[in-house]
Chains A and B, each alone.
Chain A
Amino acid sequence: QSALTQPASVSGSPGQSITISCTGTSSDIGGYDSVSWYQHHPGKAPKLFIYEVSNRPSGVSTRFSGSKSVNTASLTISGLRAEDESEYYCSSYTRGGTVFGGGTKLTVL
């Protein structure tokens, strides 16, 4: 199970929109609608922000949205806020279990 590919870092100013990509293969992202996104603040437990490609759990802001095209999933955060600064991880189902991306550090300038 090779890790999914995410950019190491992205940045944006308050109020802007950013997109984090997550690239896999037809054996994971491309083969299943089971992509999730997690926000992870250092020292805390990760939190589920998007499930099944584009669904938000109760309590997650509508500023967060997910999508998928072929083998690449994306997380878009609109109206950036300072509190969005964190590490974001994608994951996908694959035969043999679950695979995570390497994580993307979001900096709000």
Chain B
Amino acid sequence: KAGVTQTPRYLIKTRGQQVTLSCSPISGHRSVSWYQQTPGQGLQFLFEYFSETQRNKGNFPGRFSGRQFSNSRSEMNVSTLELGDSALYLCASSLRRSWETQYFGPGTRLLVL
């Protein structure tokens, strides 16, 4: 069974631009969670989607948003990029909800110049 895939793997943007990241969960998994990882703050939870609805949200500004499609694939969008948004963005899928074992993708590394 294929694992969690994320595209693109690497991305370079400039301040003020917006970016969309994509995550395809393991087949049959219905929950997708997004995390931001930086050297200073470590791994921080962004949000969780289940059945196309946001179920849970971390403490991030409204510039960070996401959605989930009927096939459970999820996208995360960051608008008006700031230098501090440079990070590794990880998504994780689980069978039903995020409190079950989560399986992580390889991440998208975003660099904002």
A, B co-complexed: no
